[in-house]
Chains A and B, each alone.
Chain A
Amino acid sequence: MSADLIATNLTDVLSRLIAAGLSVQQVFPSQRTLKDGVVSIGDLPLSSAALKNTSYQTIYQEIEQNHAFHAKLIDGGLLIFQYKVTANGEILQHRLAYFPAPLLPTMEEAPALYENDELFADIVLERLVRFPIRFDFAPAQFIELQHPKSHLTLGQFEGCRIPVTGPIGPHAFMLFLVRNFYSRAYFRRRNIFEKKFKAINFPHSITDAERKISHLVII
């Protein structure tokens, strides 16, 4: 699995989100070669990791205003895809994140507002609870049963690191998101999302001890 394949897959994911009418703004993912031939994909002007200890609304605003995302979805949800790969194609790190808009109604809550492009769609009082979702792959920080190499973090809970079987490709992340959080759009445009693509086979990174506690299997 090379950096080029990840980058191609990422562009394909964004183009599917556009074709489905879900993505309204995109930032072309960059590709940069660092020291020792490490390739960094999807660098952004601002790291969402730097925004700890701030209210969710502020975090969202900072990311949005600095265009520190790769796709903005029609209801304001922001997607980030970042990968680091070694010179010989081994995955070093990834950070995949979803930040729902704190103030707008979600696509699931008020589909007609978005589908019919209504002007006052932002003036809706009742809202679901919003929380960011993050899939991190950071083997360098591994601590058995404390900091799984690949993990899922929900909300801004400091200690939330649900073990995940291994690193996740751009398509797998997109599908996880749209199936669960944009299901209406997903079922309508299923052909676009599920169309065949060249998958990346990441090796599993989960440990035996992690397998014995609740964990997430990503396929």
Chain B
Amino acid sequence: MIDVIWGTAKEKPESSRRLAEKVGDLTANGQLYIGYPVMGSPLGPIKFDALLVSPELGLIAFDLVEGTEIGGYKERQDEVASMLEVKFKPYPNLKQGRALKFDINVVTFAPAKITVPDSEEPYFIANSGNLSNLLEDFTWASDHITFTALVAAVQVVTSIRAGKLKREPKKIDSKGARLKRVEDSIANLDQHQSQAVIETVEGVQRIRGLAGSGKTIILALKVAYLHSQNPEWKIAVTFNTRSLKEQFRRLINNFTIEQTGSEPDWAQIDILNAWGGPGGKERDGIYHRYCLEHNIDFLDYTAGKAKFGQNNELKGVSSLALAQTTSENPHYDLVLVDEAQDLPPEFLRLCYTFLREPKRLVYAYDELQSLTGQAVLTPEELFGTRKDGKPVVTFGPEEASSPRQDIILEKCYRNSRPLLATAHAIGFGIYRNNGLVQFFEQDSLWTDVGYVVESGKLVGGEVVTLARTPNTSPLFLEEHSPVEDLIQFHKFDSSTAQTAWLVNAIKNDIREEELRPEDIVVINPNPLTTQKEVAPARQALFIDGINNELAGVSTSADVFSKLDAVTFTGIFRAKGNEAGMVYIMNAQDCYSGWDKAATALARNRLFTAITRSKAWVRVLGIGTQMDKLMEELLLLKQREFKLSFRYPTAEEKAQLILINKGKASKRRSKQRRELQAVIDAVNSGELDADHIIAQLSKSKRVK
């Protein structure tokens, strides 16, 4: 079967559609790219109408004729063929001596023409009637290895990890050497990913996938691809974590240069924080831009928090801005939102409003990063309804002749199978003594995110066993080290003992195992204690000559630390980052919270922390809570990192979801919030604790 991958085909929509139909009917295998690739030339970027890569038929480029005017098709074909030759020649695997190992065939396709001139080699031409026959006569003349290399070359992306320091390990089996081998294996995009890059929807598109499935890279490539095709478009990329900004800038820059040979026009591309503030492009953000363009009062973070309360800041200011919008003033042609699971629906609606027709919005999110399934709002719910009650956005059925609106990336290229299974088992509480703590609303999500049902059924009350396969969790991610080395849990008697062990382990990683300091991240899951908890270890390392930094608002927090330093971070800033070796301190804080919702939240933190690792994880902790956490791991290990449990019934599931949406006890949570506000005020010195206690005991006496 031939997969059709839809790029933008706006200049030649009809002929593109006819081509997709005709090629889709062929019995051969392969991929047909429409509106792809784009290439740099001395005269500026050149876009190809369509390109077919097939193990049976070989490489065929198409010159599409939208109307009936064929024109100088031979010149056009010459141009296409020589451009492709320029594109493929630099790849050593594709040539023998000075010549390519295969033919570049070009076919002019004019579906609207009743008759076309006869083909005379190498100038092929066809209409709807004879295209299939013509195509079936082509053959791939070279071997399979060359074909694989050709596919990789068509999909570009040779340097996803460009900019990263080269590592030169001396010992053949040190961790440094093993990490290098893992990184080299991830150099290319897979089929799904490259499809996600190219397929362009004239409307809303959703990309879902686990952490490490390549969402950020896909979005950056998409920007590069669409910017080279449509230099007149105003494009915005937005996200929650500041640390992504540098990463996006670098990726988009590299990819655009790779595709077109020149740098992107940064006047057309905005890489923006979700919020933003005044002070030029560097500090700008979507919400701030929106306020400016719509003449709405901008609220800064402090004002937002005061008005809408903690954790509701962005939600509050976004919905306020939407409500204050008197007439829409769209500004962008394309908006891409990364980490949408961490952004409120109101913010996505704001982005949507900010778009010109046809409202091209691409949002990527991780089904599991918030685990509760809360983020899994359907597009209908997410974007709300019109005045007539119809949803603003709805995904149509999938058709071969149009780009997909809903893309799922099921392969995880960051975390090995045991790591991911551990993260999920802990996150959901699969092996927890007191049962599950949270769950997916939709059963299909399990398979969507790459699990297969090994035994049992996804039916309430039945025992089911879920496992990841080499297909969704590539083996090279785990084969480099024995499973006992991939993930370890360590319990300590005291915080001091934990720190001492951590410091020694890091010294060993750097001095014996040839890891670089920036390969190592230490995460403290409780955001309120990070500064204090990590200080002793940081100090000990510094005195020992190992530099380190604490990720915070003032550090750029790009994955690529320039200071040769081990990174210590709280959980919020860990998101979006990855490292070879991840140490998690004080994991006991993640075993449980004061109620089920808090337990879920605490476990999500551990989930996020574990999934930062490209190779190894060390979970450290203190006390009995840590013992219980280790019992869960033991059960998981005994079951070979499979999730085996009694599937919850619809009722139980509803209960779990309700808890996590926080609807269970609004009143109680309000009281808790108020109490927290008082405690905060005491901590910050605004209120005097003794005074409050005195007052409280007085009011008790009155009663």
Contacts and interface: CB of A to CB of B under 8 A. Distances in A.
Interface of A: 11, 14-15, 18-21, 23-28, 67, 72-76, 101, 103-104, 110-126, 184
Contacts of B570: 117
Nearest to A125: B300
Contacts of A15: 539, 542-543
Interface stretch (B117-125, B401-409, B548-556): B548-556
Contacts of A121: 301, 553
Interface stretch (B52-60, B85-93, B272-280): B272-280
A122 B685 CA distance: 22
A62 B310 CA distance: 35
A74 B233 CA distance: 39
Contacts, number: 117
Given A74-B552, A103-B279, A110-B302, A25 B527 contact: no
* Interface SS of chain A: loop
Contacts of B685: 184
Contacts of A116: 527-528
A103 B552 contact: no
Contact of A123 (B241, B300, B531): B300
A27 B355 CA distance: 45
A123 B300 CA distance: 6
Interface in B542-573: 542-543, 545, 547-555, 562-563, 565, 570, 572-573
B302 A119 contact: no
6 contacts: A18-B535, A21-B535, A24-B549, A24-B555, A121-B553, A126-B300
A117 B527 contact: yes
Interface in B259-318: 273, 275-279, 283, 285, 300-303, 313-314
Interface residues of B, number: 48
A24 B554 contact: yes
Given A123-B285, A124-B300, A21 B528 contact: no
Nearest to A74: B552
A73 B554 contact: yes
Given A21-B532, A24-B554, A120 B562 contact: no
Contacts of A113: 301, 553
Contacts of B553: 74-76, 104, 113-114, 117-118, 121-122
Given A20-B535, A25-B555, A117-B527, A74 B279 contact: no
Interface of B: 240-242, 273, 275-279, 283, 285, 300-303, 313-314, 527-528, 530-532, 534-536, 538-539, 542-543, 545, 547-555, 562-563, 565, 570, 572-573, 680, 684-685
A118 B549 CA distance: 17
Contacts of B277: 122-125
The 5 closest A-B pairs by CB, nearest first: A76-B554, A21-B531, A125-B300, A24-B550, A123-B301
A21 B534 CA distance: 8
B573 A75 contact: no
Given A15-B542, A104-B554, 10 more contacts: A15-B539, A18-B539, A24-B550, A24-B555, A103-B283, A115-B528, A116-B528, A117-B531, A118-B553, A120-B301
A142 B572 CA distance: 51
A72 B685 CA distance: 26
A75 B680 CA distance: 20
B572 A19 contact: no
A13 B528 CA distance: 25
Contacts of A24: 549-552, 554-555
